[in-house]
């Protein structure tokens, strides 16, 4: 009679593990969806800033730029993005330590 009881316990354990695994997969999918939504919002914000900065450059230098002006724009934006990223990284590191 012990044998069926052990089999029942194993069956219950298998059900528990299946349920836990499904819950784990469900939470992984939810986490990925949230990450994708945040990334999409970041992309939208980046495109909005790109348009705003491009408008400022066109106002300063007049009209559509030449290839040299476009490369200059890209370099300035890249340098600004790098500097801001480093500053934000340091700020959050200090804030996290406190």
Q: How far apart are CA 55 and CA 7, in angstroms?
A: 72
pLDDT of 11 > 70? The answer is yes
- Looking at residue 43, what is its pLDDT? 92
CB of 58 closer than 8 Å to CB of 64: yes
Is the whole-model pTM more than 0.75?
no
Q: How far apart are CA 29 and CA 62, in angstroms?
A: 48
In tens, the pLDDT along 17-55 reads 677 676 667 777 888 888 999 999 989 998 998 888 888
**Domains in the chain: boundaries:** 1-48
In tens, the pLDDT along 58-79 reads 788 776 667 787 788 888 888 9
- Looking at residue 1, what is its pLDDT? 43
Q: What φ, ψ does residue 62 adopt, rounded to 5°?
A: 80, 120
Q: How far apart are CA 88 and CA 17, in angstroms?
A: 42
pLDDT of 13 > 60? The answer is yes
């Amino acid at each position: 009679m012990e044998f069926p009881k052990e089999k029942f316990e194993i069956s219950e354990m298998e059900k528990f593990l299946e349920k836990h695994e499904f819950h784990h997969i469900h939470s992984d999918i939810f986490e990925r969806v949230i990450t994708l939504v945040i990334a999409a919002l970041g992309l939208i914000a980046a495109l909005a800033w790109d348009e705003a900065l491009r408008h400022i450059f066109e106002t300063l230098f007049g009209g559509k730029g030449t290839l040299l002006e476009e490369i200059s724009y890209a370099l300035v934006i890249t340098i600004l993005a790098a500097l801001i990223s480093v500053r934000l990284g340091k700020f959050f590191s200090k804030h996290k330590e406190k």
